[in-house]
Amino acid sequence: MDEKENSTEVFFDILIKNEVVMETAPLDEQKEYILPDDDYDFHAYRILLLIRKCGIINEPFFSHFTIYGRGKFSFFDFLIRYPFYLKRVIEIEKKPKLLDNLKLRSFETERALSPMIKYIRGPWDHRYDGIFNYMVSKGLIKVEFTNFNKSKKAMCLTLTELGIQISEQIIKEEPIWVDRMDIINAIFPKNATNERIDDYIRKHFPSLMLGIEGE
């Protein structure tokens, strides 16, 4: 037995002889800490509000609030998660009065709530598929690839009745997010197509698109 193994054995012998017990809370009292970025409830909370505020009702295609377009949804969510980019959009559009409602806090200029990756047509979160499945399983949204007008189809995120009820409660709890989503609505029409959002990202934020360098 070498010196290292011997010292380890002596150490554990001392613990045993002195009846040393690790202070560990019972399992039912232990708390599991989850980072916000890994908490699907956190994402669902924000996405419900986004669909309610930036979604549109367009009968007969959908009678509940819906955001249609994979790229449009992810870009709008990106602007909420990275509000300093929303500030840049306001500046690009030369609408300084909207800055009053942005209420950008100092820490929000330094880091984002959670990371998103470059995607073919803009930012995307690799967790979205899991988050959407979670929200569908909870009866909060429907996710379909379907018509949003007579001739075009897209990924559609639609609130259920339960999703609407909960989103209305969130509106009361999150005035800053509500104001920021109203800014998005003031800049981008609710019936904006994926193509329009793609063009906007390509023109003003090309570094967010996969395979494009610089801005």
61-95 pLDDT, tens per residue? 989 999 999 999 999 999 999 899 999 999 999 99
154 falls within a domain: yes
Number of domains in the chain: 1
Residue 208: its pLDDT value, please?
82
Residue 26 falls inside a structural domain: no
- Is residue 193 domain-resident? yes
pLDDT at 112 over 70: no
Q: Among 30-34, 71-75, 139-143, where is mean pLDDT lowest?
A: 30-34
pLDDT for residue 207: 82
In a domain, residue 119? The reply is yes
Residue at 9 is within a domain:
no
Domain presence at residue 28: no
Residue 1 predicted with pLDDT over 60: no
Q: Which residues contact residue 78 at a Cβ distance below 8 angstroms, ignoring those fewer than 6 apart?
A: 85, 116, 122, 123, 208
Q: Are 179 and 101 in contact (CB under 8 A)?
A: yes
Question: Tokens 């073919």 belong to which residue?
Answer: 120
pTM of the model: 0.78
In a domain, 21, yes or no: no
pLDDT of residue 213: 44
